[in-house]
Each structure stands twice: as structure tokens, then as C-alpha cells.
Structure 1
Amino acid sequence: MAQSIGRNAYYFEDTTSNLTFKQILTPPYQKKFLPTLLDAPNFKITRHALWVKAIIKNNSPNTLYLNIDNPILDTVTFYELNAAGTYTSIEAGTHILPSNRLLFTPTFLFRLNLRRGDSAIYYIRAAANSPMQVPLFTNTVEGFFMQMTVEGLLHGLYYGIISIMILYNLFLFFAIKDKVYLYYIAYAFCIGLFNACVYGHLIYFNDGIFQNWMSRRIVTLASIVLMAMVIFSMTFLDTKKNAPRFHKYLTLITALLIIPISIELSGDVWTSDNVVNIFSIVIPFSLLTIGIHLYKRGFKPAKYYILAWIPFLISIIIFTLAMQNFIQSTQFTKNSMEIGSALEVLLISLALADRINIYKIERAKAQDQLLLASRENELLILDQNLLLEQKVEERTQELVNEKRKSDDLLLNILPEEIAVELKENGHTRAKQYDNVSVLFADFVGFTKIAAQIHPQQLVNELDSCFKAFDAIMDKYHIEKIKTVGDAYLAVCGLPVHNDQHAENILVAAIDIINFIKERRIILGDRTFEVRIGIHTGSVIAGVVGIKKFAYDIWGDTVNTAARMEQNSSPGRINVSESTYQLIKDKFSCQYRGEVEAKNKGMLRMYYVEESV
């Protein structure tokens, strides 16, 4: 069974990196050795050489081996006291080909010439361009290979998962032709390659030359993994469409990953490692946050994406903290990246599979919508079929939404019948309507109130009142024409004929008066009083202009209705003779006599009191 000797070890950092072993054995330097106090001593990235002094005792009847369990140490020199009383040295590290090592293993093994019950002091000099972890374990060769067998099975399971997921998504890419699967394959390959380098498994290729080269470019490899991670996430979450601001942020982050690569290539490994460690925390947190944000906004594929990132983010945090010596390095922290990335790869594959199901559902919905559209317009269905063949399913939904918005906007400007005519013919013809009732409503004292309150309050109050008027018009099937300043114009009996036009518009006018009365009870002088005039007759109605066009009415009836309003009183409804004749049996009216109206002469006018 492997025994950790880290707590029986002492270390000394050679800031010159030039001390010889003979100098290290002198008393001045021996006094500088400090206890490690850890099972897996971790000195983070250092520019200096590190000396470790380990006291080892053999309590086993078998030959012991010392295992330095860090496969990416660049140079390792092992010093052992021989029978002659002098020290012999053995060179190891990634620069030594695996075929020239004592045993062909990812980590560095040294045979200890210790009999049972004996103890000895051993020295190790190590240097690396990666975090300087020096986990020290002793074990028999049988125990060590048993441990390697178990670890090999676990590592094989991990690489098997990565390989299967790559092949599975490669098949999906060729089947669906969606580039998101290609980006996922690139990401899965990069994360697998990174872990293979960290755990020293690349020694089995090209006699370890590739492992040696990659271990010297560990920051570059980590940066490429993060780039692949971000690019895949941007494509999967479709951030360019669903979250444009986050898309710009992730694009910037991807570009900034060139910085740690450039620093490492310039030779400053210590700085590049610290920079990439910051990115390795910031990027997963950012991607998880964006995934949660989009899921809350209804982007369903983000569900499995979030589930995948949680364990992976935890594993990155654990791995980074252990590498930076903020937490104790253990077998779990050592393998946390493999565990987290394996779970992530599996869950993201589920997310990609779920994406296919969503595609199918959306495709079915789009087909139903296209089938319905085919009954209305043959040309539209041809366009929609072409759109469907080009796999723009989401665009189909966008087009439907935009069409609905356009229709709603057009109906907000024009009556439905006029809007249909305009869409079918490209233009409308003005029409005469011989029997309609026109309503003018105007706020009394508007100028005075406008001078007393803030402009924004004035606009808000106008908006509240006109919204209420609009609702009343809809209730009684009355067509709102327009508002001009504080005046409100509406007509009943067009474009669809209505025999009850005069009665409907009187009931609406009474509702307006009552609404304003109730509002004045609450707000007092902070709101308006209203006066209303109504006249019945014939009008011309139609759309004018080609820019900012509007549906309007013209004729003497409109002018007369305006005069009725001008000669009305606050809180009263003033109607003409023609309107009175239509509503006299259903409403109580007060005859006002003949009243002088501007440019109209003497007109008979009536105040409407209430409905009978």
C-alpha cells in the first residue's frame, strides 16, 4: 500500500537555481530546510529550483520504490547514499524519454536500497514550468503496479467516455449538419488532451516526446481549452441572437486568451500561469451565469447546459485551488478535473440530444403554421417550404411573429376592413357614409392645468384618460379617428354600418363623463374636466398620404360636431338636432334653443341629461 512521506520531508527553495548538491550538504544550507507539513507539498509555479530532503524508513520485507507523483516536472534529480558513503544521482523528468526511465510509467519511480527496518535521507532537486507539486509516496513494485492498474481502469473509463461522445456527436454532425456539434467535438478533444497531458498519459505516444513538448506548453493548452469552451457555448446558447451583450463579452474574453499564450511563449511561465488561472475561474462562472439567464428567459436547451457546468465548475475550482496551494492536494483534487469534465461531457451530450427533440417539436409547429398559411396564399407556402428546406426553422417563427406585430400595428392605425383592403389592393378608396354619428371631446382648462403641473405628469394624465376613452370606444363598437392635442375624435356607423350609431355614441359619451367625474373625485384639480359634442350626418372617410398615413373623416358633419363641442359646457354632452331626433325616445334631453355657432349660424342644440 502506498505511504505518503510528505510530512517527513523538508524543502529549500534555491533562488539562484545554481547551487550544487555538494553545497546543499553544507551546514549553512542544511539549516535553511523547512518542514513541508503536507502529504503532497505544493510550491505553486516558481522560477527557482526546489530541493526536498526526505527521511524514509523501510517497514516492509520487500524492496521499496519512491514515487514522485507529478508527471509534468521538467527536471528531477534523485540523490541516494550508497554503500561507500557517497551520494549517487539519477536524472529524471519530462526531458528524459520514458524508455530510458527505471520503469515505463507516467510518474517518476526510484528504487530505494533500504533493507527492512533501515532508514535513510534522500534528496531530490526539481524544476518545472508548471505548478511545483511534489507528492512523495513509497510502495513496493507490486503495490505500485496494482495502484496503476486501478488508476488505469479509471483513466481508461474517462478516455472511453470522451471518445464515445466525440464519435457520437461526429455522427450527429454529419446527420444534422449543425456546426454546434463540430465545436463540441473540438472542445471534448481539447479537454481530453489537456487531462492526458496533466496526468502524463501522453508518454505512451512517440516515446514521450509529445508529452515533453506539451508539458512545456501547459498554459497554451489550457488557454486553447478555454477558447474551445467559450466558442462552443456561444454557438450552443446562440448568444448572438439570444444575448447580444453577453455575446460581445464572450468574444472579448476569447480574444484576451491570447495574452497568457503570448506570455508563456515569451518565457514568463509564472505570470502566464497566474493569468490563465484567473481566466479558468472567470470563464466557467460567466458561462454558467449566461446559461441561467437564458434559461430564465425561456431558452429550454440551457437546462442540461446548466446541469453540466455546475459539477465542472466545482471541479475547476477544486483543481485550481489545489494547484495554487490554497487547499490540501489529495487523490480527489488530483482527479477532480477528470471527474468534472466526464460529467460535463455526458450532460452536454444530453443537452445536444435535447436540442434535437426541440428541433423536432419546433419543426412540427412550423409545418402546421405553413399548412395553415397555404390556404391563404399559394406563393407564401412556396416561400415557407423553401425556408423549411433551408433549415431556418427559427426564422419561420420570427416571420410569423413579425407579421403578427405588423398586423397589430396596422389595426391600431386603421379599421380592420380598411386594413384588409389596403393589404389586398395596396391602396384604399375614400367612401361616403350617409348616416353616422361624430363625437368630439375636449378637455376644459387644459392650458391652465398644463401650467401648474410638470410636463411629464401632464402627458401621463392625458395618456391615462385617452386609454380609458379608447376602451369605452371598443366597448360600443365605435371607431376612434384621432387625438389632436387635448381633443378626441370618434365616429360610430363606419366602416361597418350600424343602425344604433347614435345610441351607441351617446352611451359612450355618458361613460366618458362618468369616468372623468370619478377621476376628479380622486385627483381633484390635478385632472381635467371634459365637454362633449355630437352631430349626426354624412361624412367622407379614407386614408390620405403615403407616409405616416392615417384614417380620417371629412365633411360638414365633422365641422358641426366640433361646433357642438365648442358650445358645450364642462361635464355636459351637447347634441345637434339631427342626433336628437334619433335618440329623443331613449335619452332625456334639455332643449337649449338656437345657439350661434361659428361659421354655421344659428343651430338647435340639446343637452343630454341621462338615458330614459
Structure 2
Amino acid sequence: MFSTDGIFRPSMLSPKSTSVSPAMMELIQQCWDENPASRPTFENISKMLLKSSNKTNTNIVDNMLEKLEKYANDLEKIVEQRTKELVNEKRKTDTLLHSMLPPFVAEELKAGHKVEPMMYQKSTVYFFDIVRLTKLSSQSTPMQIVNILNDLYGTFDDTISKHNVYKVETIGDAYMVVSGLPQVTERHVVEICNMALDLLGIVKTFKIRHRPEMTLMLRIGIHSGPCAAGVVGHTMPRYCLFGDTVNTSRMESTGEALKIHMSSSVMEQLSVHPEYHIELRGDIELKGKGTMTTYWLLGKCKFTTQ
């Protein structure tokens, strides 16, 4: 029939005289609203039809489409969750890899590139070992020794992060740090010496859990010179140092407990910094090197290790 304004609309029966629900009648009227902005979208129409329809009366196609839509929505949620988990695991893997290798080396290996060894003309290498660790081991359980080294190295790791140095490795009670590579710096000697003094101060107050009355005794050796560095191995790649500088830096073996033993090359570079206290030790026979003149680094400014 026509309305008074000339717009054709079919007559709507009373909901009581038809099987059409009131919600459906209202939806029909909304769909032919003269204002297009007031009409529901197809998505809303679809949702309302699905909500009001009797599931037992839906045909096979509608039922299949409904299930496909639900599956697609669930799949999106699963993919989003898995993506977040993958990003978190990748972040953990990168953190672990960067703790084992220099960042630029780690990125090259991740990209599948070969990392060529490099020669650094100026570097300073630091070594220390623990005096009488064998005797302490005989009086302790293996787990107690693991706890000692983990506590000590954990404290040291926090300290060396404040200096421009790179921790190369720990093998048993041997702890090796270098400055001047892989990040080149002209202050490599100063960085290592400052770190050595800090670590020596820490070990003097370090407490062993099961032997609190005992003080750990370190022997420290420092040497400066050219050094080669590169990645060795495929299964478990390691960033290693090579050269005579590394061998000579093992002069901690001829040092004394709680003292910093350094070579003449370190002393010469450190002598331009008057704030460091240096003492001549004398001529010492070093394994594989013969006789060398070595020195003690006693402290810096008013701070002293004695």
C-alpha cells in the first residue's frame, strides 16, 4: 500500500498473527529506513539473523559458513598468541647468543655469514686464577665449588659491565677479559687496570657460603700487545683470542695472592697516568718467555690494594 507521502511500504502484520518474531519485524523496518545512515550494516544483519534463527532450521551451507567463520576467528587468535610466543623466544635466544659472542659476530652468524678472524694491534688481556682452589675443592662438595664460582663470577660480571671490556671466557677458575677488541679503544690499558682494581676490592670482601671465615685469594696478570681474534667451531662456536699477548698475560701464574702482576708494556702505557701507583717487582722467569721485568699495580690515587 502507499502511505500519505507517496512512499510505498508493505503492510506489516501484527507479531501475534505471524510466526515472525518482534526482533525480526524491527530489523525489517530498520532495513527500509529512509535515512541510509540509520540502516544496519550487512555484518550486523548477519549477526542478528544468526542470533534469532533456529539452529535446527539452518541449512547445510549456512551451518558450514558459520563454522568456517568461527574457525577463522579462533585461528587468528591462535596465530596472534603463537606470534607473541615466537617473538619472546627469539628475544631470549638473542640475549643468550649476545652473552656468548660479541654482538656483531652473533648477527653475522645468524645471517649465515662467515666471520673472518681479525688482527688487533693494540689490546690488553687480563687473567686471574684462584689460589689453592684444589685444596678448597678437596674440602668441599662439587656443588659447593659450583656455588662459589657462580657467586664470584656473577658478582664480577656485574662489575665488568661498567667498564669498556669484553669477557672472553671462564675455564674452571680461570677468568679472561680483554679490552681493545672487539670494540677498539685507545684506553684499553686504563680500562683493564681500573677493572682489575675493582675486582680485587670485591674479592677481599667476598664471602664463601659454606666457609665464611675463609678469604678467596686471586692471582692477577695483565699484559698488553697485538692480538688476533676469531670464531672457532661450528656446533658450539666460541670467540677466542690468539697470539703471544695471550700467552704472556698468563703471568698470573708467577704472581702473588691478592696482587696485580703486570708486564713492562702495561707499565709503559700506564706511566703517563700519574694517579696509578706502580712498583717494580724485578726480573721474573716466565714460562716460555724467559726473563722479563715485571711490575705490581698497587692502586689508584688514594685507593690502595695493600
Band of TM-score, shorter chain: 0.7 to 0.9
Distance 1:561 1:166, change over 3 A: farther
Distance 1:550 1:398, change over 3 A: same
Q: Could you tell me which residue of structure 2 aligns to residue 607 of structure 1?
A: 296
Please give the root-mean-square deviation of Cα atoms over the aligned residues, in Å: 2.7
Shift of 1:535: 0.2
Name the count of aligned residue pairs.
242
The higher relative CO (CA closer than 8 Å, separation ≥ 6) is in 2
Q: Does 2:82 match 1:176?
A: no
Distance 1:573 1:545, change over 3 A: same
Q: Could you tell me which residue of structure 2 aligns to residue 511 of structure 1?
A: 198
Give the alignment of 1:357-368 within 5 angstroms: 359=77
Distance 1:166 1:588, change over 3 A: farther
Gaps of 5+ in 1: 1-162, 182-355, 360-390
Gaps of 5+ in 2: 1-50, 56-62, 302-306
- Given residue 535 of structure 1, which amino acid in structure 2 is its aligned partner? H
Q: Could you tell me which residue of structure 2 aligns to residue 393 of structure 1?
A: 80
Shift of 1:424: 3.2
Q: Could you tell me which residue of structure 2 aligns to residue 592 of structure 1?
A: 281
Distance 1:529 1:179, change over 3 A: same
Q: Could you tell me which residue of structure 1 aligns to residue 129 of structure 2?
A: 442
- Given residue 440 of structure 1, which amino acid in structure 2 is its aligned partner? F
Distance 1:568 1:520, change over 3 A: farther
Distance 1:567 1:395, change over 3 A: same
Distance 1:539 1:592, change over 3 A: same
- 1:475 counterpart SS class: coil
Shift of 1:534: 0.3
Distance 1:417 1:166, change over 3 A: farther
Q: Say whether the 8 Å CA contact 1:173–1:179 is kept in structure 2.
A: no
- Given residue 435 of structure 1, which amino acid in structure 2 is its aligned partner? K
- 1:177 counterpart SS class: helix
Q: TM-score, normalised by structure 1?
A: 0.37
Shift of 1:423: 2.5
Distance 1:517 1:406, change over 3 A: same
% identical aligned pairs: 35
Distance 1:400 1:180, change over 3 A: closer
CA distance in 2, matches of 1:409, 1:572: 33
CA distance in 2, matches of 1:165, 1:558: 81
Q: Does 2:279 match 1:579?
A: no
Q: TM-score, normalised by structure 2?
A: 0.72
Q: Could you tell me which residue of structure 1 aligns to residue 161 of structure 2?
A: 474
Shift of 1:582: 1.3
- 1:175 counterpart SS class: helix
- Given residue 601 of structure 1, which amino acid in structure 2 is its aligned partner? G
Q: Could you tell me which residue of structure 2 aligns to residue 494 of structure 1?
A: 181
Q: Could you tell me which residue of structure 2 aligns to residue 543 of structure 1?
A: 231
CA distance in 2, matches of 1:539, 1:482: 16
Match of 1:429 among 81, 102, 116: 116
CA distance in 2, matches of 1:176, 1:588: 76
Report the structure, 1 or 2, having the larger helix content.
1
CA distance in 2, matches of 1:501, 1:411: 21
CA distance in 1, matches of 2:266, 2:90: 41
- 2:90 counterpart SS class: helix
